[in-house]
Amino acid sequence: MYYYIDEEHPKKELKTDSLGIYRVNSIRDYAIANEQLQQLRDLYDAMGEEKDDVDEESMAVTEAIMEQERQLEEYVKSVGNFDADRFSKNLEILLKRSNLKMSELESILHLSTGYISRTVGTESKRKLSVDALWKIAGLFQINIDDLLKRDIVAPTKDLKAVAFFLDKLVKDTDEEKIRWENVDIRQNYDNCHYFPMINGKKVFVANSLPMGSCGLTDAYSVSVNIGEIHFFRWKSPSGKNEYGLYIFDGSILETSGGEDDPMVKIMVSASDSTGILDAECGRLMNSIKTREMDFVVSSEARKYMARYLNPSNYTLENDSLPFA
């Protein structure tokens, strides 16, 4: 008799007296269940020609195979009933962002020309296979449920929160409430790792930047009320600009003895399929670059100049020049 594999009933070595079956509720389950089905079939074949169709062991394996097949078929049916219009719109958006044509996508995924177009139409009698959907989701690095059911242009609550955070940084930069420092990549970064100065010494920070960001082109930092924000830009393997926003917390290094990573990730633009973060990060980088060449004096120097020009009430908030 077979059993369903779950947390309470972990997978055992596959034998005729321990036949595990996977319930299939997701694309990940589908992949695992497919492997399990093949192992069940191999077990049945290994029983040899002498097996009897009415033998208890062979019957038990046959029942397990049939149940695993049923689980897979039910999932395929549920996926096949997806909203074709939603999928088509999401796929169109993903293709545009990647500068790909449908025929190029089919070629990359080794699908016959026109296969996707023929199977996603509302009037189509054929359905896109689960394997094809899996390949598409994997290529564009998107959750298959999002690909089939969600408007990927519509931002989530977390995405909105990060977008508002970036917008605030842009406004504060434009209004000169914060000033970013250009971090010397050659001195502070090596092979994607950040070497901050702690107590006058460079400290190695493990996993400080995501994979693929080794080609850093820009790095900026600014100290604000919540800590030290670091903003990065790098080129992806395809040549596209990608961004990362982190908060550096030096106290984590001190309390953990260097064991824990002090770079707290706020976001990496490549993880957003809507393109919203990409646009907001571009705005922030443009704002920083625009202000980078501004003439700036230190707050200490401003105090001295104010005291000299008018010791009683002069401030440098007046934008006009004496010779204008």
Pair 174, 284 in one domain = yes
Q: How far apart are CA 288 and CA 37, in angstroms?
A: 56
Question: Which pLDDT score, from 0 to 100, does residue 313 have?
Answer: 62
Domain count, the chain: 3
Question: Which pLDDT score, from 0 to 100, does residue 18 have?
Answer: 87
Question: Which pLDDT score, from 0 to 100, does residue 316 have?
Answer: 54
φ, ψ at 3 (rounded to 5°): -135, 160
- Identify the sign of the CA torsion 118, 123, 126, 130: positive
Asked whether residue 29 is domain-assigned, the answer is yes
Both tokens of residue 252?
């984590």
Measure Cα distances from 304 to 24, 59, 67, 307, 308 in Å: 72, 93, 83, 5, 6
CATH label of the domain that carries residue 96: 1.10.260.40
Pair 40, 110 in one domain = no
φ, ψ at 18 (rounded to 5°): -145, 75
Crossing angle for the helix pair 130-139 and 56-80, nearest 10 degrees?
Answer: 60
Pair 175, 286 in one domain = yes
Q: How far apart are CA 57 and CA 63, in angstroms?
A: 10
Q: How far apart are CA 263 and CA 247, in angstroms?
A: 6
Pair 76, 90 in one domain = no
Pair 281, 202 in one domain = yes
Pair 190, 276 in one domain = yes
φ, ψ at 51 (rounded to 5°): -65, 145
Pair 191, 88 in one domain = no
Domain of residue 145, residue span: 84-149
Pair 113, 131 in one domain = yes
Residues of the chain with pLDDT under 70: 49-54, 79-81, 121-126, 186-214, 252-261, 311-324
Q: Which residues pair with 219 in a beta bridge?
A: 232
Contact residues for 264 (Cβ-Cβ < 8 A; gap 6+): 246, 247, 248, 249
Question: Which pLDDT score, from 0 to 100, does residue 88 have?
Answer: 86
Question: Which pLDDT score, from 0 to 100, does residue 254 have?
Answer: 66
Asked whether residue 310 is domain-assigned, the answer is no
Measure Cα distances from 171 to 135, 174, 178, 287 in Å: 41, 5, 9, 9
